[in-house]
Chain A
Amino acid sequence: AQSVTQPDIHITVSEGASLELRCNYSYGATPYLFWYVQSPGQGLQLLLKYFSGDTLVQGIKGFEAEFKRSQSSFNLRKPSVHWSDAAEYFCAVGAEEYGNKLVFGAGTILRVKS
């Protein structure tokens, strides 16, 4: 079965500082990997996805993520955080062999200090 671990429940960074949110997954073959963002009381917005090819993927709002097969990781990064980035971030994994459902991590709440 697939699983996703986001080790950091909360992260606080200063505005303008760089950000890295960690995500580790457990799955045998090559998974499909996603990062979503959720503002309070809202649904999920897709930031970026990895399906195949270049292991460094670019997303919206200046985010990027790198797939590292050897580490089973898909960490999300942003070089300079803006106050509007404060939200909850979810890493998710999917695989055709397990149907079309997504398995999500527990999320990381990002706080931005001004």
Chain B
Amino acid sequence: DTGVSQDPRHKITKRGQNVTFRCDPISEHNRLYWYRQTLGQGPEFLTYFQNEAQLEKSRLLSDRFSAERPKGSFSTLEIQRTEQGDSAMYLCASSLAGQGFDEQFFGPGTRLTVL
């Protein structure tokens, strides 16, 4: 059983460029989450999917951010026209929907640096 994987692990980009991150969840998990973690803070929820449906988006997810999970397996998070304030660790997690609250399993994260 492989855990949640994320690619790339690190990304350095210039302000104004577009970036895309990928997350591969644990294979049988039907829920997938994206969180953002800035320096000195805990992770903050961005969005989550159940299968291919995006069920909730945070106010943090501006129009420049878009997430997809086209086949209910891997997910991508795209940031358009990056800004320096987008510099953060982007964490993906997955879970198996069941009764009650799901335990979420986190990937290693993608660290984005916007110059």
Contacts and interface: CB of A to CB of B under 8 A. Distances in A.
A43 B100 contact: no
Nearest to B46: A101
Interface in B64-88: none
Contacts of A49: 103
Contacts of B56: 99, 101
Interface residues of A, number: 25
Nearest to A33: B101
Interface in A75-102: 90, 92, 94-96, 99-102
A46 B102 contact: no
A27 interface: no
B21 interface: no
B48 A104 contact: no
Q: Which of A44, A46, A104 has the most CB of B within 10 A?
A: A44
A90 B91 CA distance: 14
A4 B102 CA distance: 19
A94 B91 contact: no
B101 to A, nearest CB: 4
14 contacts: A41-B111, A42-B108, A42-B109, A43-B109, A44-B91, A44-B93, A44-B106, A90-B43, A92-B42, A99-B55, A100-B33, A100-B104, A105-B42, A106-B42
Interface of A: 4, 32, 36, 41-46, 49, 51, 90, 92, 94-96, 99-107
Given A4-B42, A43-B108, A107-B42, 19 more contacts: A32-B101, A41-B111, A43-B109, A44-B43, A44-B106, A45-B106, A51-B100, A96-B100, A99-B56, A100-B33, A100-B48, A100-B101, A101-B48, A101-B56, A102-B43, A104-B42, A104-B44, A105-B42, A106-B40
